Structure 1
Amino acid sequence: MLLGFTLGAAVGAVLGLTGAGGGVLAVPALVLGLGLSLPEAAPIALVAVGGAAAMGCIAGLRRGLVRYRAAALMAAVGALCAPLGMWLAHHLPVRVLIVAFCAVMVVIAVRMLRQAGAAGRAADDAHAEHNCMINRLTGRFRWNLRCSATLAGIGATAGLFTGMLGVGGGFLIVPAFRQFSDLTMQASAATSLAVIALVSSATVAGSLAAGASLAPSAWAFIAGTAGGMFAGRLTAARLPWQWLQRIFAWTVLAVAAALFARHFV
C-alpha cells in the first residue's frame, strides 16, 4: 500500500508540474513497481490521472487559464476515439502494446528535450502565425475551420492513445498546443488537464462497464496521485519550465528503457 501511494505521489507531482506526462509514467509505475500487466494497469492509471487532472483543471478554471470550449471539443472527439483504442488494446499482443508504449515515450522525451533547448521561443511566438490564435482582447481562440480541425485532430489522437495504452494524452496535448497555437505554457497545461479529466472519465466509465475492477493497492496509488498533483501545482510556478522539461524527458527515457528491458531482455 505504501509503495503504491509513493509511486502515485511521484506520478501526480509530474502531472501537476508539467500538465502532461502523468499517464505515460503511471502505467510503467504500476507495471514495474506493483507488478501489474499492462491491461491491468491501464484502468488504474486512467482513474488516478483523470482524478488528479480534474483537481488541476478546477484550479485552472478559477484562474481563467482553461480554454474550456477547446477542451470540450477535444474531449468529445477523444471520447469517441477512445473505444477504438480499447478495442485495439484487447486484440493486440501485449508485446506489441509494450513496444508501442516505449516508442511513444521515446518520441515524447525527444520532443521535450528539443523544446527545452530551443532558444527564444517566447519571442518567436509573439510574431508567429499558428493554426489557432488567441484574440488578445477576449483571451479566447479565434474560431475558424483550420483551428477547429486542428483541435479535433489533437483530441482524436489523444483519445486513441488513452484507450489503447491507458495514458491521459497530456504528453500529446501540451506539445501540440505549443506547436499549433499561441497559448501560454500555463494555459496549455491547464487546458490539457481539462481534456485529460474529461477523456479519462469517459474511458474509465467504459472500462468499468466492461467489468474492470480496482484492487485496494490501486486506491492507494490513486490517493497518492491526487496528493502529488496538489504538491506539483503549488511548486510549478516556482521552477523554470525548461528545467522541468529536461528532467521529465530524461526520466521518461529511463522508464522506457526499464520497461522494454523487463519484457524483452
Structure 2
Amino acid sequence: MLLASLFGVVMGLVLGLTGAGGGILAVPALVLGLGWSMTQAAPVALFAVGSAAAVGAIDGLRHGLVRYRAALLIAALGAVFSPVGIYFAHQLPEKILMILFSLLMVMVAWRMLRRERKDDGPSDHGHANWGQKNCMLDQQTGRFSWTAKCTATLAALGAVTGVVSGLLGVGGGFLIVPAFKQLTDVQMRGIIATSLMVISLISAIGVIGAFHAGVNINALGVTFIAASIAGMAAGRCFADRVPARVLQISFASVCLLVATYMIFRAVG
C-alpha cells in the first residue's frame, strides 16, 4: 500500500509538472513498480490520467478555450473504438503489449526533445486566417467550420485515439495535440484545453469498457489513483517555477530509460 502511494504521488507530480502527457508513466509505474500485468494496469492508469485531465479541462472550459463540439465528436468515436483496443489488449501476449508501449514512450520522448518551430498563427478565437487546414476556424464566430472534410478528420482522430487508449491504457494526448497542430488552425492554448477534455472523456470511457471486460480496480489501484491526484495537485503548484525546456528534457529522458528497461524485460 505504501509503495502504491509513493508511485502514485510521483506519477501525479509528473502529471502536474508536464501536463496530461505525463500520464504515460502511470502504466510503467504499475507494471515495473508493483508487478502488475499490462491489462491490470491499463484501467487504473486511465483513471488516474483522466482525473488529472478533467481538472485542466474544467479550467479550459471556464476560460472559453475548449473546442467542446470537436472534443465531443472525438470522444464519441473514441467510445466506439476503445472496446476494440481493450479486446486486442486481452488477446495479445504480455510481451507484445510491453514492446508496443515502450515504442510509444520512445515516440513521446522524441517529440519532447525535438524543438518546436514557432509560426505565426491565428488567435484561439479565430481572428486570423492562415494556410488551408482540414479544420478551419470561422473568422466571424471563432468556431470550426464544420465541413465534411473537417468532420471526417476529427472522427478519424477519435477512432485512432480510442483504439490506442483501450489497447495501452493511455489518454491519447500525444496523438491529439500534434494532430490538432497539423490539421487545424487552433492555437496551442486551445489545443491543450481541448485535448484535456478529450483525454478525460476517453479515459472515462476506457475505464467503463475495462469494467465491462471483467477488469476490477483493487485497493492498491484505488490508493494509487488517490495518491496520483494529490501529487498532481502539488505538481500544478510548482509547474510555473520550473523552466519548460528543463521539464521536457527531464521527462523525455525518464521515458527513454523506462522504455529501454521495459523492452529488455519483454525480450529477456
Distance 1:139 1:225, change over 3 A: farther
Write the deviation string for residues 223-243 of structure 1: whole angstroms up to 9, x where unpaired.
122123323444445555444
Match in the other structure for 1:212:
215
What's the TM-score once normalised by structure 2's chain length? Answer: 0.88
User: Do the aligned partners of 1:71 and 1:195 also contact (CA within 8 Å) in 2?
Assistant: yes
What's the TM-score once normalised by structure 1's chain length? Answer: 0.89
Q: Match of 1:15, SS?
A: helix
How many Å separate the matches in 1 of 2:119 and 2:243? Answer: 14
Do residues 263 (structure 1) and 260 (structure 2) align?
no
How many Å separate the matches in 2 of 1:244 and 1:183? Answer: 24
Aligned length: 262
Match in the other structure for 1:221:
224
What's the RMSD between the two structures over aligned residues?
2.2
Which residue identity does 1:202 align to in structure 2? I
How many Å separate the matches in 1 of 2:91 and 2:184? Answer: 36
Write the deviation string for residues 165-193 of structure 1: whole angstroms up to 9, x where unpaired.
11111121112222222322222222111
Do residues 43 (structure 1) and 43 (structure 2) align?
yes
Percent sequence identity over matched residues? 52
Q: Match of 2:52, SS?
A: helix
Which residue identity does 2:11 align to in structure 1? V
Aligned-pair CA distance for 1:222? 0.4
**119, 122, 135: which is aligned to 2:119?**
122
Which consecutive unaligned segments of at least 5 residues does structure 2 have? 123-127
Within a 5 Å distance, the mapping from 1:192-211 to structure 2 comes to 192-211=195-214
Match in the other structure for 1:54:
54
How many Å separate the matches in 1 of 2:113 and 2:221? Answer: 32
How many Å separate the matches in 2 of 1:212 and 1:150? Answer: 32
Within a 5 Å distance, the mapping from 1:92-107 to structure 2 comes to 92-107=92-107
Aligned-pair CA distance for 1:66? 1.3
Distance 1:199 1:118, change over 3 A: closer
Do residues 8 (structure 1) and 8 (structure 2) align?
yes
Write the deviation string for residues 28-67 of structure 1: whole angstroms up to 9, x where unpaired.
1111111111111111111111222222211221122211
User: Do the aligned partners of 2:121 and 2:185 also contact (CA within 8 Å) in 1?
Assistant: no
Do residues 191 (structure 1) and 194 (structure 2) align?
yes
Distance 1:53 1:215, change over 3 A: same
How many Å separate the matches in 2 of 1:237 and 1:146? Answer: 38
User: Do the aligned partners of 1:132 and 1:143 also contact (CA within 8 Å) in 2?
Assistant: yes
